[in-house]
Amino acid sequence: MNNVHIPRLDLLDFTTGSPDKQRQFSDALGKAFTETGFVTIANHGMDKALINELYEVVQQFFSLPEEQKRNYEIPGLAGQRGYTAKGKEKAKDAKTPDLKEFWQRGQTVIGDDELRANYPDNVEVKELPKFNAITEEVYRRLELAGRSLLKAIALYLDLTEDYFEDKVINGNSILRAIHYFPLEHPETLAPDAVRAGAHEDINLITLLIGASADGLEVLTREGTWYPVTAQGDDIVVNVGDMLQRLTNNKLKSTTHRVVNPPLALMKTSRYSVPFFLHPKADVSLAALPSCVDAAHPKAYPDCTAGEYLDERLREIGLKM
Ligand SMILES: O=C(O)CCC(=O)C(=O)O
Ligand SMILES: [Fe+2]
């Protein structure tokens, strides 16, 4: 990964293109996921107006007084729904919490009563009905884009195109709105206090709105950090640990972080909205048989997505 290349792909090539265009898209996506684990995606199904509205409502929410936001902190849910205050989450191996607060919205199950009972209800913000409506809309659109990307990955892995569909429809995905809050006295920060410490994402793939603002970096194989930026309203998509496990390390869940800006800019906010695409909890993360051979022995013990998530939420301090 000396010459880091994060390609920009057009999702319409896959969703409406000729079979040739679809194949090219899936090859390019697969290649990027075996190298850096990151791509940027244009024409992802959210127009500029929706993204602007999203930023507007997200800023409105985080501008509410602290005690009002705290009303939306739900004990016992490990931050999986509603508000998580400053100082709560840290990267897996970090000692100091990240400099952020966030909101999480989960799946709205339609139909399947049994599955609906497995998920906590979403938390609605009374003061901001538009926040609820827009975050739900963005959740739906990113889930659709993510399902298309998984179809392209399935083709790359020589699986049937619909391989992931029944595993992720009504899955345990999370939309997270993050506020990297301003600091009046950034010079007093602990030296290891960062906006988001080096980590790998837990889920299958992450679709991120907001990397048009500086700060996101990926760790290269040489151990140096490389900035990731998206053009305009493009989104960044990366592989998470669940997809790395399923593919027995063929697809790479690359370490990334969000660095602090220069001191003067620490007095300003940064916002981002990642969508963590998860399967349903009972889906097995055992390596796909096609990804295991003598040269690539099985790297991980079998477990389900639900068991794995539970372990990881404990490691990042969200679950006791
Ligand atoms: O804020 C960003 O740009 C990235 C956030 C991130 O990596 C995460 O929340 O997992
Ligand atoms: Fe991340």
The pLDDT value recorded for residue 128 is: 98
Q: Taking the complete model, does pTM exceed 0.95, yes or no?
A: yes
Supply the DSSP symbol for 55. Answer: H
- Per-residue pLDDT of 68-127, as tens digits, reads 999 999 999 989 999 999 999 888 888 999 999 999 999 999 888 888 888 999 999 999
Ligand index nearest the alpha carbon of residue 273? 1
- The finding on whether 251 has its CB within 6 A of some atom of ligand 1 is no
Exposure letters 202-214 (e unless 16+ CB within 10 A, then b): bbbbbbbbbbbbe
Q: Is the pLDDT of residue 316 over 90?
A: no
Question: What residues are paired with 277 via a beta bridge?
Answer: 205
Atom of ligand 1 nearest to the CA of 211: 3
Percent of the chain with pLDDT over 70: 99
The pLDDT value recorded for residue 111 is: 83
CA atoms of 292 and 303, how far apart (whole Å): 16
The pLDDT value recorded for residue 83 is: 97
Beta-strand ranges (E) seen in the chain are: 8-10, 38-42, 82-84, 101-105, 174-180, 196-199, 205-209, 216-219, 225-227, 235-239, 256-258, 270-277
3-class SS of residue 303: coil
Region at 309 (left for phi over 0; alpha for psi -120 to 50; beta for the rest): alpha
3-class SS of residue 24: helix
- Per-residue pLDDT of 177-197, as tens digits, reads 999 999 888 888 888 999 999
Q: Is the pLDDT of residue 211 over 80?
A: no
- pLDDT-derived band at 319, boundaries 50, 70, 90: confident
Amino acid, single-letter form, for residue 220: T
- The finding on whether 258 has its CB within 6 A of some atom of ligand 1 is yes
Amino acid, single-letter form, for residue 197: G
**Which of 142, 178, 316 has most ligand 1 atoms within 8 Å of its beta carbon, as the pocket-test mutant?**
178
Q: What torsion, rounded to 10 degrees, do the Cα atoms 178, 67, 74, 259 define?
A: 20
- pLDDT-derived band at 1, boundaries 50, 70, 90: very low
- pLDDT-derived band at 2, boundaries 50, 70, 90: low
- Per-residue pLDDT of 213-253, as tens digits, reads 899 999 998 899 999 999 999 999 999 999 999 999 999 99
Of residues 112 and 290, the one with the higher pLDDT is 290
User: Is 228 within 8 Å of 219 (Cβ atoms)?
Assistant: no
- The finding on whether 316 has its CB within 6 A of some atom of ligand 1 is no
Q: From the CA of 188, how far away is ligand 1's center (Å)?
A: 24
The pLDDT value recorded for residue 110 is: 85
- Per-residue pLDDT of 54-71, as tens digits, reads 999 999 999 999 999 999
The pLDDT value recorded for residue 4 is: 87
- Per-residue pLDDT of 136-193, as tens digits, reads 999 999 999 999 999 999 999 999 999 999 999 999 999 999 999 998 888 888 889 9
